[in-house]
Every structure is written in structure tokens, then in C-alpha cells.
Structure 1
């Protein structure tokens, strides 16, 4: 079992070490959402997309692989620059690694006892910056796991770091309630799901049809990502939906973009209202 790379506290790194980090670690792939966010900022300079890549340069990455399990967990420079946030991410990494090892050992023992082959389990997770406003650092993560079944699974993570309070928050913490959040975006959210499925050649079952996927789910039960087009206000909203939530596994996951409207901002708690603006 080999630890490939583990670096912390990027803010304290000397320039020479930063150069070494650049040379020794591969740059994480930029997501479609990040490209769109950077490229669509009105008047964005030519280097806007490159700036997103720089912001997502890996500051801490641990990879391990053995006949028992495969594990990786990474987060970007901007997160490492916040000591309390880096501490939480390191603790989350350790907790996920410990859970993976325990589950893998249990399932391998069961496989040996039952006389069937054991397939190494995995947990692969990478945090990326969505946006960084004066108050909030918004992060997203995609998590790929495998526990020995017919296929792996993709899930998502979300995190907001509130600089004003020095606390980690969930995006839904900024709203008066999950119910208010759902009510404000339901029509746009459900319509966007229909369009996303149509783009894949899939017709959404009619409401009331005898299908587990006939009903549009509450957005608050999915993963919420908040972004910004101007670097100052939260005016972008994406709902990340894992496989099986709104369709068969073969459909894959969905990333549903929903407009930030005046109606949605009315559902924001007063103390955060100034950090939002309606999207253009």
C-alpha cells in the first residue's frame, strides 16, 4: 500500500515547493460546469478558464491501491489556504479511508468464507472549486465508489466555507427551509429535468404513471451547488443528481442548471440575502 502524495497548508508553501508541486502532480480535469462558468462571465478576460484551472490545482492528494482497496481523495489550493477547512477535509479523508478499509476487510473475509472471489473496493473523491466570492468558497465533489457489485456508483458532495463566521455550511443552510427552496425552483427544476432527459432520448413518465421515476423529486433532496458569474454574488445554481434518483442506472447522473430568480432570493435567509443576486 503506497501513499503517492500528501501536501497540506498550501498558503505556507515557499515558491520553490509550489514549483515542485506543479511539476509532480497532474492537473485535475476541468468540469464542463467550470468551463461554462468561466467562459460565460460577461467581459471575462482570455485567461478566465485558465484561472479556474489554477484555482483547482491540487494542494493535497492521497492515493492508495492494493489488492484490498483503492482510495483517493484530493482538494484544491484555495481550500488548503483555509486552515480550519483543510483540517476538516483531512478529517473527512481519514474517516472515508477508515470506513473503506473496514468495509473491504469485512467483505473480503466474507468472500473467503463463502468461497467466492473478492473484488477490491474503492472510494475516489476529488473536491473542486465552483467559485470564490468575498464571503464564500464554494466546493463540489464527485465521488466514485465500488463495493463489489455489478457496477460502481457515483454520488456528489457540496460544501460552502463562510469566511464571515469561519464555519462550513451546506448550501441549503442559506435558505429559510428546504420546503421554501423547493417551492421557489420547482417549475424550473422539473422542466430542466424533462429537457435533460429528452437530450438523452428519454421521455419522462407522466405524473401519476405507475413508475418510481414518474414524479419530479424535491431538489433539496439532491446535491446543491452554488456558483457565481461575477466573483461577488451567488447567482448560479446546479442540482447534481446521482444515478437511480430520477432514472435507471444506465441513464447516468444529471447536472441540472436552474436560474437564480428573485423568487428564489426571497427564500434566502435575511443574513445571506446580500450575497445573492438574480442570474442574467
Structure 2
């Protein structure tokens, strides 16, 4: 038996059905959206993938009479939950340290009758390379603590997607000594060229604090790639005072990944390097 509805009663029913269909089309099913979300480095599937996919680059700033603080990292790092968590913790640790030191120095300056000079910490993480396995990040850090001048330092982070863990570049090598031996010749030659480009003759006097060539493993190492697949080059970042007086500034020495360098790599990472010679 077919029941007929008056057109006056049927119209609202059809309108409601059409509205419900439109809403369903505009808003995909959450389960389907979560299943489609897939971010390298994040746990597979579920809401965590969805949150990671929606993550944005981070740029936190604070500027007042006490401090100037800035800490940023790119979206490529933000979409990896464990790496983003480490970066957020690092940011808060550095900001807390800056605030504590600034308040202490401000109080001391007031007691001594001296003007307080605002302290600062400015740090921005940037992508060195992003291969299928590794996300390599570099950071240049500018700090000021009220003295005659500020200071530059560097940081490095390497995220291993295969192992879902954070590494330091030297973790990929059998030892710091093996790394230094493999890289020493091109690294030291690069320092001489960089100094010459600034019109500076490298110190040779044995009693000079800046004579000779320091171990590359004691500096900041940034691993890079020219093809986006294999690690085949690196930069050694050297802060002021390491190989010259403050006036010389910092240095960035580019060094290729040679067969000697690749030979010092641990077996577990051999396939990720591509020597250029």
C-alpha cells in the first residue's frame, strides 16, 4: 500500500533531506580523512596523522623591555610529532634560561645603578635537505647578554624517518676520530680559502691560539644533498673565536662527501651516502 503525502507536507521533508546531503558533501567523513592522512615520521593512521598533516610552521616571538626572543622551525619539522615536540621543548628551555638570566642581570644592574641592556636569543631552524630518509635542519643562533657585543653559534638536527628518531650528524659515523681523519684535508684547505677570501692569512705560529686546523667533529656539521636522495655534501659551521678573533666572524666550510668520508660511515647508513669521487 502506497501512502500519499500532501505536497505541503512533502516539501519540508525533501528540503531537509537535500540540506543533509549538502552538509555531508561539504564535510568529509572524519574516519576517511584520518585514513587518508599520512605523514612521514608520524605514527601511521588515526587522529595523530591528521593533526600532523594539519601542522603549520612554528614562529614564536617575545619582545619587551626585558628580552627579545624568537624561535622558528619549518612545517617539514612540524609535521613530525616527535621532532616537533623536541623543538618545542628546546624552545621553552632556551626561553626560560633567557628570562632567568635577564631578570638576574636586570636586578643586578638596578642595584649597581647601571642601565640594563635587553638580552636576546634569536634562533631559526632551516632545511638543509629533505631526502626520503632524512630531514636535515640547521640553525644559526644570535644571542646578546648585555656585553660589548652579541654572539653567533650554530645547531644541527637530523631526523631519521626509517628509525623514527632524532640523530646528530656524527651519529652516522663510526667515530669522531674516523670522521676527522676522513675530512681533515678538504676541511683544512677550505678554512685557508675562506680566510684568504677575507684577506686573512691563516695563523701558523705555534704559540697562537688560532694556529692549525681544529677537529671538524668539534664544530657544527650540517649534512646536505644535491639530488634530494643521497647525502653527498656537508657544511662545517664554525663560530667566532674558534679559528680566529671575534672580528673575523663565523665561517661555513663546504666539504664534499668523498670516498674517504663515506668509508667512515656506519654500515647501517652506507646506502644513504653517495661519494662524489
Name 2:86's counterpart in structure 1. 88
Are 1:201 and 2:199 counterparts?
yes
Q: TM-score, normalised by structure 2?
A: 0.80
Report if the CA contact (8 A) 2:70-2:121 is conserved: yes
**Structure 1: any 5+ residue segments left out of the alignment?**
1-8, 14-57
Per-residue CA deviations over 1:90-115 (Å, capped at 9, x if unaligned) read 11111110000000001111111111
2:45 counterpart residue number: none
Match of 1:223 among 204, 220, 239: 220
- For residues 21-32 of structure 1, what are the structure 2 equivalents within 5 Å? none
Which of 252, 256, 261 is the equivalent residue of 1:259? 256
- Larger Rg belongs to: 2
**SS of the residue 2:57 aligns to:** strand
Q: Is the 8 A contact 2:169 2:223 kept in 1?
A: yes
Q: Is the 8 A contact 1:10 1:77 kept in 2?
A: no
- Of 128, 137, 140, 1:139 maps to 137
- Name the residue aligned to 2:246: 249
Aligned residues: 227
Q: Which residue of 2 aligns with 1:38?
A: none
1:213 aligns with 2:231: no
Taking only aligned residues, the RMSD between alpha carbons, in angstroms, comes to: 1.2
Bigger RCO (CA 8 Å, 6+ sep): 1
Q: Any residues of structure 2 matched to 1:3-152 within 5 Å, and which?
A: 11-12=53-54, 59-152=57-150
Q: Which runs of 4+ in 1 moved over 3 A?
A: none
User: Where does residue 175 of structure 2 map in the other structure?
Assistant: 177
Report if aligned partners of 2:52, 2:81 keep a CA contact under 8 Å in 1: no
Is residue 269 from structure 1 mapped to residue 271 from structure 2 by the alignment? no
Separation in 2, partners of 1:127, 1:139: 6
Distance 1:77 1:84 in 2: 13
Distance in 2 separating the partners of 1:87 and 1:210: 46
- CA deviations 1:129-167 (Å, max 9, x no partner) are 010111100000000000000000000010000011111
Aligned residue for 2:137, secondary structure, equals: strand
**TM-score normalised by length of structure 1:** 0.79
Partners of 1:86 and 1:187 lie apart in 2 by: 37
Shift of 1:279: 2.8
Larger mean CA deviation between 147-156 and 109-118 belongs to: 109-118
- Contact 1:60 1:76 survives alignment (8 Å): yes
- Return the offset for 1:116: 1.1
Q: Which runs of 5+ in 2 are unaligned?
A: 1-50
CA shift, 1:85, in A, is 0.6
- Partners in 1 of 2:257 and 2:63 — Cα distance? 42
